[in-house]
């Protein structure tokens, strides 16, 4: 097992103007086989210019890895302006200690990212494999597609320990999302497949969905009028109302399922 520790230098995040850092080049599959000096030389974007990782982070390497699956990256410091953590990663593990900026876990194909704090918007964007765990809250557009794209999350698993913002899983086509808190408006907007479970409350879930499944264990605070009640059924020992929708997309296309306790 190899642990790569990247601690953001305090002077980088000091002052009123905190410049964002993009770290999609710092994933286990891209750092596998590199020694400490080589990792320090990897380029990352700091604002509008490229810098060496070692100029922004204190870097240390412990142990050895025979495969990329044995590589774990631990990121520490004030990560609130660090973007693209785990973006595009295929294997291994990343642990981010603290709140993180946008696009955490975007385009993931494998491995595991754990955020021990909150994650800003677009976390898990278009991911197609792997696992993303956000122990705090998630911002807007969790597991959605980015602007101009037509498919959001298509595989993998995402767990949020707190609340999530609006448009969770927009254009989602596969995979699984678990929100242990509440979600804001329009969870599952344009959803085509996959599964979303909300243990708290939701507002207008499932708008324009044509496939997939949404389960709300709390309350639906504003129900879409274009969903049709089908039956009362039992899910995991609990009684739920089952709805079919979204009929605004025509009954032929309305193959989404919404369970409300």
pLDDT tens for 176-197 read 999 999 999 999 999 999 999 9
222-233 mean pLDDT: 95
Instruction: With cut-offs at 50, 70 and 90, classify the pLDDT of residue 128.
Output: very high
Could you check whether the bond before residue 246 is cis, i.e. omega within 30 degrees of 0? yes
More confident residue, 218 or 15: 218
28 Rama sector, left if φ>0, alpha if ψ -120 to 50, beta otherwise = alpha
Residue 153 CA to residue 149 CA, distance in Å, equals 11
Q: Give percent of the chain with pLDDT exceeding 90.
A: 92
* Domain layout of the chain by residue ranges: 1-74, 102-260
83-91 mean pLDDT: 98
At residue 142, does pLDDT exceed 60? yes
Residue 178 CA to residue 159 CA, distance in Å, equals 5
The pLDDT mean for the chain works out to 96
161-177 mean pLDDT: 98
pLDDT at residue 72, rounded to an integer? 98
CB atoms within 10 A of CB 230: 13
pLDDT tens for 91-108 read 999 999 999 999 999 999
Instruction: With cut-offs at 50, 70 and 90, classify the pLDDT of residue 15.
Output: low
At residue 17, does pLDDT exceed 60? no
39-54 mean pLDDT: 97
More confident residue, 12 or 162: 162
pLDDT at residue 258, rounded to an integer? 98
At residue 125, does pLDDT exceed 90? yes
Taking the CA atoms of residue 163, residue 166, residue 211 and residue 131 in that order, the dihedral angle to the nearest 10 degrees is -50
pLDDT at residue 108, rounded to an integer? 98
- With a CB cutoff of 8 Å and minimum separation 6, the contacts of 15 are none
Instruction: With cut-offs at 50, 70 and 90, classify the pLDDT of residue 245.
Output: very high
Q: How far is CA 58 from the centre of its chain?
A: 26
Instruction: With cut-offs at 50, 70 and 90, classify the pLDDT of residue 16.
Output: low
């Amino acid at each position: 097992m190899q642990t790569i520790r990247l601690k953001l230098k305090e002077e980088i995040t000091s002052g009123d103007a905190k410049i964002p850092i993009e770290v999609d080049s710092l994933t286990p599959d891209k750092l596998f086989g590199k020694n400490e000096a080589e990792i320090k030389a990897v380029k990352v974007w700091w604002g509008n210019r490229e810098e060496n990782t070692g100029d922004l982070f204190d870097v240390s390497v412990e142990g050895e890895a025979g495969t990329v699956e044995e590589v774990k990256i631990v990121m520490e410091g004030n990560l609130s302006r660090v973007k693209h953590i785990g973006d595009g990663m295929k294997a291994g593990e990343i642990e981010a200690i603290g709140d993180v900026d946008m696009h955490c876990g975007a385009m993931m194909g494998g491995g595991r990212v754990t955020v021990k704090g909150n994650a800003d918007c677009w976390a898990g964007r278009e991911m197609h494999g792997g696992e993303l765990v956000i122990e705090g809250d998630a911002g807007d557009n969790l597991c959605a597609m980015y602007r101009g794209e037509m498919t959001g999350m298509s595989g993998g698993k995402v767990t949020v320990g707190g609340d999530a913002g609006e448009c969770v899983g927009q254009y989602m086509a596969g995979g699984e999302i678990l929100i242990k808190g509440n979600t804001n408006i329009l969870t599952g907007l344009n959803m085509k497949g996959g599964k979303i479970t909300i243990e708290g409350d939701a507002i207008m879930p499932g708008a324009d969905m044509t496939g997939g499944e949404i389960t709300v264990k709390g309350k639906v605070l504003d129900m879409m009028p274009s969903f049709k009640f089908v039956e009362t059924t039992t899910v995991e020992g609990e009684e739920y109302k089952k709805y079919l929708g979204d009929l605004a997309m025509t009954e032929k296309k309305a193959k989404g399922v919404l369970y409300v306790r």
